[in-house]
Amino acid sequence: MLAYAARAVSSAPRPELWSLLLASASWPAWSTVDELVLDESEGLAPDGRDGVGATRAFRTGKVVTIERITALDPPRRFAYEGARNAFISDYAAVIELDETSSGGTVIRWSGSYTARWGTRWLMRRIMRAVMQKMADGLASYSSAR
């Protein structure tokens, strides 16, 4: 198993970040994904507050990955797993939001996955960089709102 851990800090309050995580349509605005693919997603909430079991399909470039929400502990812990990914398997991730003393939020985004033997070194590098960009994007977008 390979793993990554990313950390970022937002000046926005935790409920605002929580809302962004639940609203799959917001992810292209702040993350590394280009588009939410609606026809490959299932169980999305019309009010933008997706729940446990919802599957979200995100396109980045030409690649579509599908992730399923596995646990929610509002507004602190958001967990999901990879349902379909061309490059990794056994993917599980957790996003934890902790309040700062100044009213902001610390984002801790961690995950584990399996990569094919010949691609492990590359996927380790890519996942660490991409997931740090995801955390940084969430922090900067929420801080600017």
Q: What is the CATH number of the domain that holds 63?
A: 3.30.530.20
Whole-number pLDDT of residue 47? 93
What's the domain count of the chain?
1
Domain that holds residue 133: 2-144
Q: Dihedral angle at the C-alpha atoms of 41, 43, 48, 50, nearest 10 degrees? A: -110
| pLDDT of the residue at 56 | 98
pTM: 0.95
- 15-38, pLDDT tens digit by residue? 999 999 999 999 999 999 999 999
Mean pLDDT throughout 29-53? 97
Distance (Å, whole) CA 30 – CA 52: 22
Cα dist from 87 to 6, 15, 118, 127, whole Å: 20, 32, 11, 11
pLDDT bracket for residue 103 (50, 70, 90):
very high
> What are the C-alpha distances in Å from 104 to residues 34, 131, 137?
27, 20, 15
